[in-house]
Amino acid sequence: MPALATGSYPSTRLRRTRQAAYIRDMVRETRLVPAQLIQPLFVAEGGLCGAVASMPGVMRLDLEALLRKCEALYALGIRAVALFPVTPAERKTPDGDEALNPESLMCRAIKAVKQAVPQLGVIADVALDPYTSHGQDGVLDAAGRVDNDASCEILRRQALLYARCGVDIVAPSDMMDGRVGHIRQVLERDRHHDTLVMSYAAKYASSFYGPFRDAVGSGANLGKGGKDSYQMDPANTDEALREVALDLDEGADIVMVKPGLPYLDVIRRVKDRFGVPVAAYQVSGEYAMLKAASANGWLDEKKAVLEALICLRRAGADMILTYFAEDAAQWLA
């Protein structure tokens, strides 16, 4: 017989509460339910609709398909979607003028979803990269640099346009300094007091965004250019807390950390420091990696995806934007 360990063993055996599914369920510290998941959706028209090659299972949807998808998602218990437009090349300009078009695809999509599934929360991306011919999130100055203040002026007008279309949440993803304050101020002036601002507060200049840029068609425009001059350095976490503090002070209702799984420490620091609603974005590169590994038989897709989502929740995320939202809701059911 082996010698007894020190401490309270064998009186205390932590394996007792792990031995059966019923007790594991009762003592589980972190819960994942469909209402905590947000499905990003790409909306397109004509020949731009169809499958995204670098994101297996993800489609660019026309308006009719978008409405069917939103109805199905709501039936599964998902309570919000995030819309991203795919803009034809001929409508892209250096100043991203299409972002301010009241008849744009994005405006029509917001109105259509709110009419078809009024209980479903609609989140609209506020940024210029889907609309600019250079693929940057803002407009450029004479020297070719992203002009922070000129970009904020356009983003302010873009957010107001979406609010007037009936969107529930505007989500500035551009990382311009001061844009949350500009947006909150104009929403208040226009009496859109109840429109929420979900700020991409700690958005990193990550290598995990490539498939998303393929999906919205901004990757080719961006070319070899990067966004390091305004998105965050992946090496920094103290700076993330400063970004979040500024956005909250300017009126953000929800703050986001993006990407998700590689930045669990940032999510936890933000949650611990501020105690506000925190979103995490499990981005396109994370999705593509899990899909590729699963397709090769290297991972069990269901188990790996649900584990990754639980990790994001455990780190402190109250809500998760994930391209797996629909699948995860079905698995959780």
What is the SS3 assignment for 57-115?
CCEEECHHHHHHHHHHHHHCCCCEEEEEECCCHHHCECCCHHHHCCCCHHHHHHHHHHH
Q: Can you point out the beta strands (E) in the chain?
A: 37-43, 50-51, 59-61, 80-85, 121-126, 169-172, 196-203, 254-258, 278-282, 319-322
Active site (annotated) includes residue 224: no
pLDDT the model gives residue 3? 61
Going along the chain from its start, the domains and CATH numbers come out as: 32-233+247-253+321-332 (3.20.20.70)
Active-site pick, 69, 92, 114, 203: 203
pTM for the model stands at 0.95
Q: What is the pLDDT of residue 15?
A: 94
Mean pLDDT by 10 residues, the chain (333 residues): 69 94 96 98 96 96 98 98 95 94 97 98 96 92 94 97 98 96 98 98 96 82 81 97 98 98 98 98 97 98 98 98 98 95
Residue 99, both tokens: 């972002």
- Give pLDDT, residue 35: 98
State residue 214's pLDDT score. Answer: 87
Rounded to whole angstroms, the Cα distance separating 270 from 268 reads 5
**Whole-number pLDDT of residue 125:** 96
Contact 61, 41 (CB under 8 A): yes
pLDDT of amino acid 1: 56
Q: What is the pLDDT of residue 221?
A: 73
What is the rounded distance in angstroms from the CA atom of residue 125 to the CA atom of residue 149?
19
Catalytic residue among 92, 258, 271, 291: 258
Identify any residues that bridge with 84 across adjacent strands, giving them in sequence order: 42
Q: How far apart are CA 258 and CA 213, in angstroms?
A: 15
Is 203 tagged catalytic?
yes
